[in-house]
Amino acid sequence: MCSIYEGIIDTNRLVEKVSVSLFVSCPKGFVWQEDAIKCYSSQVIKSILGSDTVRECKSLHPEATPVEPRNQIQMDIILRIAVEADIWLGMYRPQTSNVVDDIRYYSDGSGIMYNNWITGDPNNSGQKEYCVAALQYYDNKWGDSPCTSNAGLICEL
Burial track 56-80 (b if 16+ CB lie within 10 A, e otherwise): bbeebbeebbbbbbeeeebbebbbe
pTM of the model: 0.78
Cβ atoms 91, 106 nearer than 8 A = yes
**pLDDT for residue 13:** 55
> Does residue 74 have a pLDDT over 60?
yes
**pLDDT for residue 69:** 93
> Does residue 82 have a pLDDT over 50?
yes
**pLDDT for residue 127:** 78
The mean per-residue pLDDT over the stretch 122-151 comes to: 89
| Predicted confidence band of residue 6 (pLDDT cuts 50, 70, 90) | very low
- Residue 94, preceding peptide bond in cis (omega within 30° of 0): no
Q: Who wins on pLDDT, 36 or 60?
A: 60
CA 151 – CA 134 distance, rounded (Å): 9
- Rounded to the nearest integer, the mean pLDDT of the chain is 82
**pLDDT for residue 22:** 54
Q: What share of the chain is helix, strand, coil (3-state, %, to 5)?
A: 15, 40, 45
| Predicted confidence band of residue 71 (pLDDT cuts 50, 70, 90) | very high
> Does residue 23 have a pLDDT over 80?
no
> Which SS3 state, helix, strand or coil, does residue 143 take?
strand
| 126 DSSP 8-state letter | G
CATH 3.10.100.10 fits 28-156, yes or no: yes
Residue 9: how many CB atoms within 10 A of its CB?
A: 9
| Predicted confidence band of residue 87 (pLDDT cuts 50, 70, 90) | very high
| Predicted confidence band of residue 126 (pLDDT cuts 50, 70, 90) | confident
> Does residue 53 have a pLDDT over 80?
yes
